[in-house]
């Protein structure tokens, strides 16, 4: 046990949880923003694995579109 102040006792697990909490909140906030940007499908409450997989697929699709547009630009000289 860790003693804080006069009579407050907190287990070591709680202390490490408080240190991790800002990081977890930051990750959740960024996942929420990512869900707004990336089309995740019909389910808005998708789990983290689904969101990251959909994000990777979306990035690949965007890279393919950029490559196609570059080729078309080279062909037509635009």
pLDDT in tens, 11-65: 565 556 566 788 888 998 999 899 889 887 666 677 889 889 999 999 999 999 9
The verdict on pTM exceeding 0.75 is no
> Which H or E run contains 3?
strand 2-4
Report how far Cα 21 is from the mean position of its chain's Cα atoms. 16
CA angle 44, 49, 52 (to 5 degrees): 80
Q: 55: which 2 tokens?
A: 């994000």
């Amino acid at each position: 046990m860790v003693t804080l102040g006069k009579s407050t006792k907190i287990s070591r697990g709680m202390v490490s949880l408080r240190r991790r909490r800002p990081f977890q909140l930051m990750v959740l906030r960024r996942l929420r923003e990512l869900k707004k940007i990336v089309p995740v499908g019909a389910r808005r409450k998708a789990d983290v694995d689904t969101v990251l997989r959909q994000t990777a697929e979306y990035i690949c699709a965007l890279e393919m579109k950029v490559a196609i547009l570059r080729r078309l630009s080279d062909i037509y000289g635009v």
